[in-house]
């Protein structure tokens, strides 16, 4: 019980208070303490990736072993995982400036490592593809939310229409002052609402932090109380 | 002979007189730094810093195109001069950065004419920056935190003594039971996404605090729970939270370690994988709670197309419109942090929830007060001095 709950709560309380005080102390010793904390965080994070690999391997091995639906994809995941890890660790040996150029004289020297190559020409395009879906999802979401079913929805529809028009050259062509109207909408009613939410959020963040420091909140450690 | 001796003496005396004069002409610059200018220079420590900065200022007004001034800095026990700034006109106000509070610095000034002749360096003074122990400009913030902590402690103690607190209804959280029940009836899993951020984000901690009661309910209903993660630490904590909740519900046998897993740390890879899970597994309920960025709409829209009941919650203001559009219920901002207390109804946690409301009320009061005083001041044309003083104090508080 002490190791599972009391000790983590104690560590949270001590470091929580120390880091709050650190914020108010500009002395270099305080900065060094903060930087040391960041270094610890990086070190711990680096080790947790071993847990991530273990989780991924275990999950997909189980899927393959039990032949669950779509188990073939798990093979692709595992191959991709091991090939990427191999390129990351031993990729330097396959740099075009070394081994490849000896075997294939036509290969030109390059600074791009094989790992970087997979990142630039495989991972990045795939990420961009998913990101590009946002445009279509935005259109479908806008279509759904802009239906004037109630007074609120109608107000939203009108405001969205004005802001959309004001953001494109056509809006200025229709009415010269439209971009200014849009600026006003974004700067005042929109900003006021955002700040209202943000004040609540900040108070919530402080309250949660204090709860953790005081040991009132401990659900994140597992268990009810 | 006498004349020869006298001539010889004359030559020697002349040489002696001429020689040092030649030396002066050779070494002494054509002009000097004006001592009145030097006396005007002030070097002061910058307050509320780590002792790495000194402010150098000169109030004297001087303009001229023919001269330029060079400000040098030298460590006390060093011989190397470093140019701090070259300037042509006064007054001057600069901050010299990158210093150490453990060292002593000497500042020198020289003047260069239009031909490029530089005078000798004239010492302004010796200074050592001070490393401060408290940011005095943050004192209001510090007092506010203490005040807020005191309110929390007071309310927690009041609740402990039996005081009953009213908590307003949060429909998004009230629906959680219904959403889990729906998944059970349909025989489909519940998908819980604890956000895309790491454990250092308070929104993630808030999300994991909600995961506990949700997992307990799911365990009672014997429904499958899927928790995909983007961060390995979050995954480890989520596993622990779910395992404990299943144990609390008396169903540790239903817990499956493989249902809480790591996906990828790539933002859009994570969104794509979750969209895939939504399409393949067809969860009856999707809970998207935590910190989200641009991927929020991809997940929410993918879930919407599968017909699942969706409850989303985030403190990211820019993502809230997407969730409101695509999800059935949205937990907005602070409600995410209130969720833990709201769901568990633990008296101690409810005390903190109330403290949140009281401070929010106080902030609204101060903002309203500022607005009213500003309005009165505007109507009276700013003639009321005491109102201006109050406004000044309020502005200082806001700034802090």
B330: part of which helix (H) or strand (E)?
strand B329-332
**Residue B242 and residue B227 in contact, taking contact as beta carbons nearer than 8 Å:** yes
User: pTM for the complete prediction?
Assistant: 0.84
pLDDT at B16: 56
A64 and A1 together in one domain: yes
Pairing of strands B90-96, B54-62: antiparallel
pLDDT at B7: 64
- C-alpha B270: how far from its chain's center? 27
* CA dihedral (B386, B392, B397, B398) positive or negative: positive
Q: Render pLDDT for A52-77 as a digit per residue (tens, 0 to 9).
A: 999 999 999 999 999 998 899 999 99
pLDDT at B87: 85
User: Which of the listed residues A13, A40, A68 is the one where a domain comes to its end?
Assistant: A68
B326: part of which helix (H) or strand (E)?
helix B320-326
Tell the residue number behind the tokens 């560590």, with chain if given. Answer: A11
Structural domain boundaries, residue A133: 75-141
Instruction: Give the helix ranges, DSSP H, for B282-313.
Output: 296-306
Tell the residue number behind the tokens 């122990």, with chain if given. Answer: B133
- Does residue B51 sit at the A interface (CB-CB below 8 Å)? yes
pLDDT at B276: 94
A42 and A79 together in one domain: no
Average pLDDT over residues A120-142: 93
Per CB-CB distance under 8 Å, the chain B contacts of A31 are 50
- In a domain, residue A83? The reply is yes
A47 and A22 together in one domain: yes
Asked if A130's CB is within 8 angstroms of B268's CB, the reply is yes
**Residue B48 and residue B131 in contact, taking contact as beta carbons nearer than 8 Å:** no
A33 and A55 together in one domain: yes
pLDDT at A145: 81
Specify which residues B90 forms β-bridges with: B62
- In a domain, residue A111? The reply is yes
Lowest mean pLDDT among A158-172, A208-222, B195-209, B237-251: A208-222
- In a domain, residue A17? The reply is yes
- In a domain, residue A133? The reply is yes
- C-alpha B139: how far from its chain's center? 16
Closest by CA position to B95, among listed B37, B68, B56: B56
User: Which of the listed residues A141, A174, A195 is the one where a domain comes to its end?
Assistant: A141
**ipTM of predicted complex:** 0.89
Average pLDDT over residues A14-21: 93
- In a domain, residue A132? The reply is yes
pLDDT at B27: 45
- In a domain, residue A173? The reply is no
Q: Does position A214 have pLDDT exceeding 90, yes or no?
A: no
Q: Which of residues 147-176 of B touch A (CB under 8 A)?
A: 148-149, 152-153, 156
- In a domain, residue A163? The reply is no
pLDDT at B40: 84
Residue B129 is encoded by which pair of tokens?
Answer: 């920056």
pLDDT at B157: 87
pLDDT at B203: 94
pLDDT at B20: 46
pLDDT at A24: 95
Total structural domains in chain A? 2
Exposure letters B139-173 (e unless 16+ CB within 10 A, then b): eeebebbeebbebbbebbeebeeeeeeeeeebebb
- In a domain, residue A122? The reply is yes
Kindly report the number of other CB atoms within 10 A of residue A61's CB atom. 12
A32 and A10 together in one domain: yes
A39 and A85 together in one domain: no
**Residue B72 and residue B84 in contact, taking contact as beta carbons nearer than 8 Å:** yes
pLDDT at A126: 95
Exposure on the CB side of residue B141, measured as CA atoms within 13 A: 15
| CA dist., res. B161 & res. B347, Å (int) | 10
* Domains of chain B with CATH codes: 38-127 (2.60.40.10), 137-163+348-399 (no CATH), 171-345 (3.40.50)
- Does residue B363 sit at the A interface (CB-CB below 8 Å)? yes
| CA dist., res. B205 & res. B291, Å (int) | 10
Share of residues in chain A with pLDDT > 90 (%): 61
User: Which of the listed residues A121, A141, A161 is the one where a domain comes to its end?
Assistant: A141
- C-alpha B253: how far from its chain's center? 45
pLDDT at B65: 62
pLDDT at A219: 75
A100 and A57 together in one domain: no
Select from A197, A206, A220 the Cβ nearest to the Cβ of B332.
Answer: A197
The DSSP result for chain A, as a single string, is: -IIIIIHHHHHHHHHHHHHHHHHH--SHHHHHHHHHHHHHHHHHHHHHHHHHHHHHHHHHHHHHHHT-TTHHHHHHHHHHHHHHHHHHHHGGGG-IIIIIHHH-TTPPP-S--HHHHHIIIIIHHHHHHHHHHHHHHHHHHHHHHTS--SHHHHHHHHHHHHHHHHTSHHHHHH-TTHHHHHHHHIIIIIHHHHHHHHHHHHHHHHHHHHHHHHTS--GGGSS--
- Does residue B241 sit at the A interface (CB-CB below 8 Å)? yes
pLDDT at B4: 65
| CA dist., res. A4 & res. B243, Å (int) | 14
- Residues (pLDDT < 70) of chain B are 1-33, 63-65
A63 and A124 together in one domain: no
Per CB-CB distance under 8 Å, the chain A contacts of B232 are 45, 48-49, 51-52, 55
A137 and A110 together in one domain: yes
Select from B133, B148, B344 the Cβ nearest to the Cβ of A206.
Answer: B148
A37 and A80 together in one domain: no
For residue A177, the distance in angstroms to the closest alpha carbon of chain B comes to 26
Asked if B50's CB is within 8 angstroms of A26's CB, the reply is yes
pLDDT at B343: 87
Asked if A204's CB is within 8 angstroms of B356's CB, the reply is yes
Best to test chain A binding among B47, B131, B144, B398 (most A CBs inside 10 Å): B131
């Amino acid at each position: 019980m002490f190791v599972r709950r009391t000790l983590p709560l104690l560590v949270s309380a001590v470091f929580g208070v120390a880091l709050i005080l650190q914020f108010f102390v500009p002395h270099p010793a305080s900065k060094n303490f903060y930087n040391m904390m960041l270094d610890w965080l990086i070190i711990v994070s680096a080790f947790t990736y071993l847990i991530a690999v273990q989780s991924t391997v275990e999950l997909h091995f189980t899927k393959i072993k039990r032949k669950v639906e779509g188990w073939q994809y798990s093979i692709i995941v595992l191959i991709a995982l091991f090939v990427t890890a191999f390129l990351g660790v031993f990729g330097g040996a396959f740099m075009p400036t070394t081994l490849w150029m000896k075997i294939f004289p036509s290969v030109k020297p390059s600074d791009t490592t094989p790992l970087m190559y997979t990142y630039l020409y495989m991972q990045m395009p795939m990420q961009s593809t998913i990101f590009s879906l946002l445009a279509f999802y935005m259109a479908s979401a806008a279509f759904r939310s802009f239906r004037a079913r109630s007074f609120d929805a109608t107000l939203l529809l009108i405001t969205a229409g004005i802001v959309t028009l004001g953001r494109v050259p056509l809006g200025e062509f229709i009415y010269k002052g439209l971009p200014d109207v849009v600026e006003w909408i974004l700067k005042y009613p929109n900003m006021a609402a955002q700040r209202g939410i943000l004040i609540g959020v900040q108070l919530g963040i402080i309250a949660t932090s204090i709860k953790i420091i005081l040991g009132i909140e401990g659900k994140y450690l597992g268990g009810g109380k | 002979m006498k004349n020869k001796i006298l001539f010889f003496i004359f030559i020697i005396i002349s040489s002696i007189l001429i020689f040092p004069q030649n030396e002066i002409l050779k070494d002494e610059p054509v002009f000097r730094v004006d001592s009145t200018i030097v006396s005007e220079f002030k070097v002061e420590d910058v307050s509320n810093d780590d002792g790495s900065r000194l402010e150098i200022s000169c109030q004297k007004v001087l303009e001229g195109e023919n001269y330029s001034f060079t400000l040098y800095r030298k460590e006390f026990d060093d011989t190397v001069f470093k140019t701090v700034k070259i300037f042509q006109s006064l007054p001057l106000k600069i901050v010299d950065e990158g210093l150490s509070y453990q060292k002593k610095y000497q500042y020198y000034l020289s003047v260069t004419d239009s031909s490029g002749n530089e005078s000798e360096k004239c010492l302004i003074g010796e200074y050592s920056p001070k490393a401060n122990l408290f940011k005095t400009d943050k004192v209001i913030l510090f007092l506010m935190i203490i005040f807020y902590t005191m309110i929390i402690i007071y309310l927690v103690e009041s609740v402990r003594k039996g005081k009953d607190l009213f908590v307003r209804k949060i429909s998004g959280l009230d629906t959680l039971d219904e959403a889990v029940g729906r998944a059970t009836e349909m025989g489909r899993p519940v998908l819980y996404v604890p956000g895309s951020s790491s454990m250092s984000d308070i929104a993630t901690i808030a999300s994991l605090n909600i995961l506990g009661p949700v997992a307990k309910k799911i365990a009672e209903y014997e429904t499958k729970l899927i928790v995909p993660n983007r961060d390995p630490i979050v995954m480890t904590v989520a596993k622990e939270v779910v395992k404990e909740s299943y144990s609390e519900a008396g169903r540790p046998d239903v817990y499956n370690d493989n249902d809480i897993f790591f996906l990828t740390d790539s933002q859009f890879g994570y969104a794509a994988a979750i969209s895939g899970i939504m399409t393949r597994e067809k969860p009856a309920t999707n809970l998207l709670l935590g910190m989200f960025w641009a991927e929020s709409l991809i997940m929410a829209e993918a879930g919407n197309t599968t017909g699942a009941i969706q409850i989303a919650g985030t403190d990211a203001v820019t993502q809230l419109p997407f969730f409101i559009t695509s999800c059935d219920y949205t937990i907005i901002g602070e409600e995410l942090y209130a969720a833990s207390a709201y769901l568990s109804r633990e008296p101690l946690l409810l005390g903190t929830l109330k403290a949140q409301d009281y401070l929010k009320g106080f902030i609204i009061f101060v903002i309203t007060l500022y607005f009213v005083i500003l309005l009165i001041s505007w109507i009276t044309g700013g003639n009321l001095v005491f109102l201006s003083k109050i406004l000044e104090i309020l502005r200082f508080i806001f700034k802090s």
